[in-house]
Amino acid sequence: MFIELILPVAVPGVFTYFVPPELRERAGIGRRVVAPFGQGRKLYSGIVRRTDVRDPGLKRIKAILSVLDEAPVVTEKQLALWDSISGHYMCTLGEVMLAALPGALVLSSETRIVAAGDERPAWTGNARQDVLLDALEQRHELSMADVGELLALKDPMPVIKKMLEQGTLMIAEEIGEKFTPRMDRFVRLTEAASSEEALHAWFDRLEKAPKLLGLLMKYVEASNRFGDGPREVKREVLLRASGTTAAHLNKLVEKELFEVYERPAGVPPPGAVGRAKELSAPQCAALDHVRAALAEKPVCLLHGVTASGKTELYMELIAEAMGKGRQTLYLLPEIALTTQAIGRLRARFGESVGVCHSRLPPRARTDLWLAMLRDPAAHPLIVGARSALLLPFNDLGLVVVDEEHDPSYKQHEPAPRYNARDMAIVLAGSHGARTVLGSATPSMESFFNAREGRYGLAELLVRHGDAALPKVERVDIADEAKRKRMRGHFSETMLKGIEAAIARKEQAILFQNRRGYVPVWQCETCGWIPECEHCDVSLTYHKQQHGLRCHYCGRSYPPPSRCSACGSARLRMIGFGTEKIEEDLALLLPDARIARMDQDTTRGKHAFDRILSRFGEGGIDILVGTQMVTKGLDFDPVTVVGIINADQLLRFPDFRAHERAFQMMSQVAGRSGRKRDPGTVYIQARDIHHPVIGLVTAHDTKGMYERELEHRRAHGYPPFTRLVRLVMKHRDEARAIATADALASVLRTGLGDRVLGPEPPPVARIRDLHLRGILVKLDRNAYRSGKDFLREAIDRVFAMPEHRAVRLVIDVDPM
C-alpha cells in the first residue's frame, strides 16, 4: 500500500511513500506520519493526503516510520483548500502547510524540545521518558535528532508526541511569553452602598470632603445609575473625569463605598451579553437585500458608507448562522482592528467567540486548532486576521470579510502569497457557506464582480441615526503658504479646526502615510542622500533613536554629520513622517494631549490596545498616525480628521495608486462625526483640483469606480486581466538580469506584449540581493491556459543550470 504525503518542505509536489503492513490501519487521510526525506535521513511529520495511491513502480521507495495521530489533524476540506491555494498562487503544498498548521504540529529532525515545567516531573515509570527528562535537566534543549541518538531510536517522534500531549515537554518555539490579556479596571458601588438610602447617607457623609463627593457624583453620572446602562465605570475614566487621584479613590474603597475589580480588556460585563440593537429602517432594508442576494448567489457585496452599521448587520447574519448550528468566520484585515470588533462581538455572542491572529502566542493557535477539531460547537464564531481562514472549520455557514478592499488581506512574505478575501470565498464554497464582503470603499474587483452579476450587491448609503457624512474641506497649501498661513506642515485652516474641536472636548485624527521623523536627509550642496548599504533605498531618520533606519531591511545607521559625497556639513531634512508631525504639533498646540500610532509605537504586545483605549477614554485629544488610523476605528467624539499631504498618496508609482488613495482618504474621513454633528475633514494638498480629491469630497464611491474602470480597461489592468509578478533575485546583478531576460523572452513566445519588463523594481536591491521584475497580464478568459503556459515556461528556464541559483518569487494577484 502507498500513500501521498505533504511534507513541510519547499520542494514542489507531493511525495509517495510505502506503508508497512502494521501501520496500514492507522495511516488515514489528514493524519501525521513520520517520513524520512532528502539526504542525511532527516525526518519530517507529513500529512497524509491520499491513501489509494498506486504503486509508483520505483526501485527504491521509502517507507513511513510511524503514524502520530489517532484522528486527522487536518480535515479533507482543509486539504482541498490547500490545493486551491497552492494551485492559484503557484506555491508548493509544503509552503501552504507551513502557513496553515500551528508550528507545534509540524515536527522534524530540527524541531527543538524543552521540558514543560520548571520542575522535573516525578519518575514517569517509562524508561525512555525518564532518560529524556534527565537529559533535558542537563542540557535544557534537545533537537529531535539528539533525542533519536539519546534513545537509540530511528524515529523518536511518537515518544515526543506523546509527551507533548501529556504536557511534560514543549516545543521550544512555544515557550517564552505566556499570553496575558491586558486588564481593564472598573469601579462600582459595594453591595452595601447600592441602595437608594445608603447612597443618600453617603452623600451626606461626604459633604465636608468635596473631592470625595465629586468622585461619587461623577460615578453616579457616568454609571448612569438611574438609567439602564452598566453600573460600572472604568477606573481611569472616573479619575480623569472627576479630577481626583488614586489616593482619593482608595479612601472610598477603604470606607467600603466602592469596590475596584478587573476584567480582560474587551470582555463585556457579565449579564451584558446577548442584547441586539434594533435595526433602523434602512438597515433592515439592506439586510433584506443581503438575504435575498445570498439566496441566489454565494457572495454578496455590502457597500455601506462608514458608520452605517455594517457591523450590526453582520451580527444579525451571524446570529442566523448560529441558530442553524453552523459556524461563522469573521475576517478583519488587521490585528489592530480585532480588539474593537471582538469587544462588540463578545458583548453580543459571549465568550465562545474564538480569536486567531499572528500576535497570539503560538500555543494559543495550537490550542484553538485542537479545540476546533475536538468540538466544533465550542467556537461557533471565529474572529481573526488573514490566517484564521486556515483553521479547521467543520461546518461553515457564513463568512464575513470586513473592509474587503484592504490590501492587508494579501500576504507578501513568505509564500503562500494569498489574498485572504479571495481564499475565504473558496473556503466558503467548499462548505456551502455564504460570503458577505463589506466595505465603504469596495475594491474594483468586487464592484466589478457585482456589476457583472457574479456577486449580489446590497447598499446602505446613509449613516446610522441622524449622523451625516463629514464635510470635506480642501486646503490649498501652496495658496496658504503664499498668504503666510502655513505653520510648518499645518495650514492655519486645519489648525483652527483642530483647536476648536479640542475646545469642545472633541477629538481629532491626523493621517500621514509615512512613519519616522523625516524620510530623507539631503546635502544642500550636492544633493546627496544617505542610502542603505544593502538596499537601494534612502534612509529614514528616527529622532527618538537618533539614527537612520532602512525600512526595507531594518538596519540602523548613525546620523550623518557631513555629506559623504562632497563633505559639506550642510545637510537638511526633506519630507516628514508621523514622528515629526507629532513633535511639530506639540509645539503648535502645547496644551493638547497628542499620541502617535504607527509601526514604531505599536510594537509591544498590548501597545496598540493601550493607545486605542486611552483614545477611547478621552485621554488623548489628537491621534497622529499612518494608515493604521484610517481603518475601522469607531469613536464618537472624533469630529475632525486631517490628511496632511494628499499629493503624496496620489503620486505613488502603481496602477492602483488612485484607488488606494481614494480608499485611504475616504476611510480616514469616515472616522469623523460618526454620531454627533457631521464632522469635518481637512485635505491638505497642492493639487486640490485632482479629480480623486474631488471624488473623496463628494463621497462619490461609484464615480470613483467608473473613472478608474475606464482607466483599467484602457490599459489592460485588473479587473480586466489578472496579474502575475515574477521577481528574480541574486547577489550578482548580471545573473539576475540574465535570468530575467531569458524568462521574459520565453514568456513572450506565448504571451507577446502581455509580458512587461524585465525592469528593476522601484527598490532594486534589498538585503544585498539585486532584483529584476517581470509583470504578466493574463487574459481573464484564458486564465487557466495562460497560467499553465507560465508554469511551463518557468520550469523550462529554471531547469537550465545557469539559472538554477537565481531565486524566483511568484506573486499572483499582486497588491
> Looking at 211-219, 301-309, 417-425, 544-552, which segment touches ligand ADP (CB under 6 A)?
301-309
Which of 66, 78, 129, 308 is close enough to bind ligand ADP by CB under 6 A?
Answer: 308
Asked whether position 272 contacts ligand ADP by CB under 6 A, the answer is no
Asked whether position 602 contacts ligand ADP by CB under 6 A, the answer is no
Q: Among residue numbers 552 through 611, which ones bind Zn ion (CB under 5 A)?
A: 552-553, 563, 565-566, 568
Which phi-psi region, left, alpha or beta, contains residue 662 (left: φ > 0; alpha: ψ -120 to 50)?
A: alpha
How far is 575 from 183, CA to CA, in rounded Å?
A: 39
CB 68 within 8 A of CB 157: yes
3 state SS of 592: coil
Q: Which is nearer to ligand ADP, 239 or 345 (CB)?
A: 345
CB of 277 to ligand ADP, least distance (A): 4
User: How big is the CA angle at 689 (ends 683 and 695), to the nearest 5 degrees?
Assistant: 70
How far is 785 from 176, CA to CA, in rounded Å?
A: 48
Partner whose binding site includes residue 280, from Zn ion, ligand ADP, none (CB under 5 to 8 Å by kind):
ligand ADP
Q: Which is nearer to Zn ion, 289 or 515 (CB)?
A: 515
3 state SS of 459: strand
Binding mask 417-456 for ligand ADP (x = CB under 6 A): ----------------------------------------
Which of 469, 472, 535, 755 is close enough to bind Zn ion by CB under 5 A?
Answer: 535
How far is 575 from 552, CA to CA, in rounded Å?
A: 18
Q: Report the DSSP beta bridge partners of residue 382.
A: 329, 354
Which cell goes with 130?
525518564
How far is 83 from 422, CA to CA, in rounded Å?
A: 14
Which of 66, 311, 667, 672 is close enough to bind ligand ADP by CB under 6 A?
Answer: 311
Q: Which is nearer to ligand ADP, 308 or 684 (CB)?
A: 308
Asked whether position 307 contacts ligand ADP by CB under 6 A, the answer is yes
Q: Which is nearer to ligand ADP, 304 or 516 (CB)?
A: 304
Which of 69, 312, 403, 480 is close enough to bind ligand ADP by CB under 6 A?
Answer: 312
Q: How many residues bind ligand ADP (CB under 6 A)?
A: 16
CB of 671 to ligand ADP, least distance (A): 10
Partner whose binding site includes residue 487, from ligand ADP, Zn ion, none (CB under 5 to 8 Å by kind):
none
Backbone φ, ψ for residue 505 (5° rounding)? 65, 30
CB of 380 to ligand ADP, least distance (A): 20
- Cα distances (Å, whole numbers) of residue 730 to 251, 518, 759, 790: 68, 31, 14, 21
CB of 332 to ligand ADP, least distance (A): 11
Partner whose binding site includes residue 516, from ligand ADP, Zn ion, none (CB under 5 to 8 Å by kind):
none
How far is 299 from 625, CA to CA, in rounded Å?
A: 34
Q: Which is nearer to ligand ADP, 275 or 374 (CB)?
A: 275
Q: DSSP label at 455?
A: S
Partner whose binding site includes residue 277, from ligand ADP, Zn ion, none (CB under 5 to 8 Å by kind):
ligand ADP
CA dihedral 72, 76, 79, 81 (to 10 degrees): -140
Partner whose binding site includes residue 526, from Zn ion, ligand ADP, none (CB under 5 to 8 Å by kind):
Zn ion
Q: Among residue numbers 663 through 682, which ones bind ligand ADP (CB under 6 A)?
A: 674
Asked whether position 309 contacts ligand ADP by CB under 6 A, the answer is yes
Q: Which is nearer to ligand ADP, 634 or 677 (CB)?
A: 634
Give residues with Cβ within 8 angstroms of 686, minimum separation 6: 476, 477, 478, 647
CB of 511 to ligand ADP, least distance (A): 17
Q: Which is nearer to ligand ADP, 192 or 281 (CB)?
A: 281
How far is 393 from 389, CA to CA, in rounded Å?
A: 9
Which of 120, 139, 185, 277 is close enough to bind ligand ADP by CB under 6 A?
Answer: 277
Which cell goes with 398?
457564513
Closest CA to 352 of 383, 321, 380, 371: 380
Q: Which is nearer to ligand ADP, 469 or 747 (CB)?
A: 469
Which cell goes with 630?
484610517
Closest CA to 148 of 104, 102, 106, 110: 110
Other Cβ atoms within 10 Å of 345 Cβ, number: 23
Q: Among residue numbers 11 through 70, which ones bind ligand ADP (CB under 6 A)?
A: none
CB 302 within 8 A of CB 438: yes
Which of 289, 310, 729, 772 is close enough to bind ligand ADP by CB under 6 A?
Answer: 310
Beta 721-730 vs 680-685: how paired, if at all? Answer: unpaired
Which cell goes with 746?
520565453
Structural Rg of the chain based on CA atoms? 30
Asked whether position 634 contacts ligand ADP by CB under 6 A, the answer is yes
CB 184 within 8 A of CB 613: yes
Asked whether position 392 contacts ligand ADP by CB under 6 A, the answer is no
Which of 127, 276, 526, 573 is close enough to bind Zn ion by CB under 5 A?
Answer: 526
Q: Cis link prior to 158 (omega < 30° from 0)?
A: no
How far is 540 from 550, CA to CA, in rounded Å?
A: 6
> Looking at 305-313, 365-373, 517-525, 547-555, which segment touches ligand ADP (CB under 6 A)?
305-313
Closest CA to 107 of 133, 132, 154, 143: 143
Q: Which is nearer to ligand ADP, 111 or 306 (CB)?
A: 306
Which cell goes with 624?
497622529
Host H or E run for residue 53: strand 42-53
> Looking at 253-261, 287-295, 299-307, 542-550, which segment touches ligand ADP (CB under 6 A)?
299-307
> Looking at 174-182, 238-246, 278-286, 687-695, which segment touches ligand ADP (CB under 6 A)?
278-286
Partner whose binding site includes residue 566, from Zn ion, ligand ADP, none (CB under 5 to 8 Å by kind):
Zn ion
Asked whether position 532 contacts Zn ion by CB under 5 A, the answer is yes
Where do contacts with ligand ADP occur on this chain (CB under 6 A)? 277-280, 283, 304, 306-312, 464, 634, 674
Where do contacts with Zn ion occur on this chain (CB under 5 A)? 523, 525-526, 528, 532, 534-535, 550, 552-553, 563, 565-566, 568
